[in-house]
Amino acid sequence: MLDAEGVCRWAVGHSGRSPLSNGPERVPERIVGAQYLASLDVSAEGALVDLPRVGCPMLLRPRIR
């Protein structure tokens, strides 16, 4: 889930499991707190889109500590 500024506050793995699960679909901890930049959609002109789309990978900038 992205907040109003595009920062990831929580995420769910592909299988719908909680981000705290220990299964193979576990969401990497580095995603939480990362800044959303764009999504990759090969059906769009230029392949980059400004808003998240279902089934499209998202590009995130890692949080800076």
pLDDT for residue 35? 94
pLDDT for residue 20? 54
7-62 per-position pLDDT tens digit: 999 887 666 445 555 555 566 777 889 999 999 999 999 999 999 998 899 999 98
The answer to whether 41 and 56 have CB atoms below 8 angstroms apart is yes
pLDDT for residue 7? 93
Task: Using the structure block, give the residue that is written with the tokens 């299964």.
Answer: 23
Q: Is the dihedral of CA 13, 16, 18, 24 positive or negative?
A: negative
Report the distance separating Cα 2 and Cα 47, nearest Å. 21
Tokens of 27: 């969401």
pLDDT for residue 39? 96
- pTM for the structure as a whole: 0.69
Report the distance separating Cα 42 and Cα 54, nearest Å. 13
